[in-house]
A and B are shown apart, each in its own frame.
Chain A
């Protein structure tokens, strides 16, 4: 069972308490954006085999959103961090890089 620690309330919550909401750090485009940008925002996804940054909500807990870094090949959780950021924290990226030397790094 997948267990993520909510950075907002500090509780180690299992997945039945959480709601997954897909890829994190997507650039949002609005009215006036090009077709390409809108398509990328709404539909295109990284879907990597390996390190994935995603949005989660502690829906049956504190109710707040947060981000998680996970491996889609092993289900290993590298860490969680608050949602109020445009990219993952440097320490977390360094930690992942140490565990996965072949990883190409964070791609938006």
Chain B
């Protein structure tokens, strides 16, 4: 693989850009791999990458039924933060956030990480108390966040209306080192690095069955034939329940639609990320100038990647009260993704009832920010065969043992 650099751009400019090579290979599947990862989204590719980088396991295939990064990795609103209440969450999300800081250098791929800062607005008395508690918890966890008053919010976000009739801004939880990154680039960067380590990324290849013998996984059936493996990692977000069904176990998940939309591009007006959890409105401005807006989930099971229009309407209606200047903006596109939500709104990373089969799912509405940390933790679980390290608390057994990592209570809403 040729490295990307300023020198490479100059070299290619001098020869009419004829020397750029494909970022990753698209090979046919081999008959056997040490590890197969199902799902070439951010989490799956990051898992493969850290298997190679941290454990030297490179006889790996990443299988994808659609195209690389075409699921929730390409459908989220790219917010990165780690201001979670519970210790295991703060640990894995902070690991992820810190890995984002050096990801472009690490992968030799510009993921456009922009640590512009994230504010979570407090718009009710309950939220003031909740976020102050989170700020104290973060201080103990070593995650830098602070509680700020309305004047400071206005200073950071001049376009905000503090005294809205329904949703006044009473303060906020400010994480100055949170921000955004280019979501596609994260998937592409990992894919390029994985391919460079000799891993096979196989797109347009749907898994149709899981092969088992004596309670252990032995391989998978796909639309490109049977592939054998020693270990299997399932990292397929909304389709986890479907895949688990093939493997013969159940998961504590429900798949629902989550929506987002972007406006027409306008001049720079907001250089931080603003999250309004009470009204399910999440807004930032992309480098192209579009206002990127995330909404809430629908209440019912859905695999169609389309959400209900009235949820978008509710989100936009509330955001217009907080940001009156966006009321005249035209919305250019809106879309939905299928997110897998657990009972405690925390992910599942660990072993499964099937031997040598590991799962990483349940990231729900907030998986993008976790991609590097999730891959790091999942790689450790697959390499060692034990749920340990960052993943230790996130096992499937926590639902039976009552050891919840309860972020639904902490956030009050999806997060």
Contact = CB atoms under 8 A, between A and B. Distances in A.
A42 interface: yes
Contacts of A2: 300, 308
B308 A52 contact: no
A54 interface: yes
B300 A73 contact: no
B301 A42 contact: no
Interface in B229-248: 239, 241-242, 245
B13 to A, nearest CB: 48
Contacts of B265: none
A16 B399 CA distance: 32
A20 B299 CA distance: 6
- The A interface is mostly helix, strand or loop, or mixed, namely mixed
Category for how many chain A residues contact B: 20 to 34
Category for how many chain B residues contact A: 20 to 34
A58 B144 CA distance: 45
Given A15-B310, A36-B400, A45 B302 contact: no
A74 B304 CA distance: 7
B255 interface: yes
B300 A48 contact: no
A15 B308 contact: yes
A28 B399 CA distance: 16
Contacts, number: 74
Interface in A60-99: 70, 72-75
Given A1-B310, A75-B302, A22 B343 contact: no
B310 A48 contact: no
Nearest to B300: A20
Nearest to A34: B400
A52 B306 CA distance: 17
Nearest to B397: A39
B309 interface: yes
Contact of B251 (A23, A44, A52): A44
Given A2-B300, A35-B400, A54-B300, A43 B254 contact: no
B39 to A, nearest CB: 15
Contact of B241 (A16, A39, A45): A45
A47 interface: yes
A47 B400 contact: no
Interface in B209-258: 239, 241-242, 245, 250-255
Given A15-B308, A52-B301, A75-B302, A22 B254 contact: yes
Contacts of B254: 22-23, 45, 47
A44 B310 contact: no
- The B interface is mostly helix, strand or loop, or mixed, namely mixed
A29 interface: no
Contacts of B340: 47
A19 interface: yes
The interface centre, meaning the residue of B241, B254, B303 with most chain A CB atoms within 10 A of its CB, is: B303
Contacts of B298: 20
A75 B306 CA distance: 10
Given A15-B310, A36-B400, A47 B301 contact: yes
B399 A43 contact: yes
Contacts of B242: 47-49
A74 B401 CA distance: 36
Contacts of A43: 252, 342-343, 399
A28 to B, nearest CB: 16
B302 A47 contact: no
A10 to B, nearest CB: 21
A108 to B, nearest CB: 12
B253 A47 contact: yes
Given A39-B400, A42-B399, A54-B300, A47 B251 contact: yes
16 contacts: A1-B310, A15-B308, A21-B299, A22-B254, A23-B254, A39-B252, A39-B400, A40-B250, A42-B343, A43-B399, A44-B252, A45-B251, A45-B254, A49-B242, A70-B300, A72-B303
Q: Which 7 A-B pairs have the closest CB atoms?
A: A47-B241, A43-B252, A20-B299, A20-B300, A39-B400, A43-B399, A44-B250
Given A39-B400, A72-B301, 14 more contacts: A1-B309, A15-B308, A22-B301, A23-B254, A35-B400, A35-B401, A38-B400, A39-B252, A44-B252, A47-B251, A47-B340, A52-B301, A70-B300, A73-B303
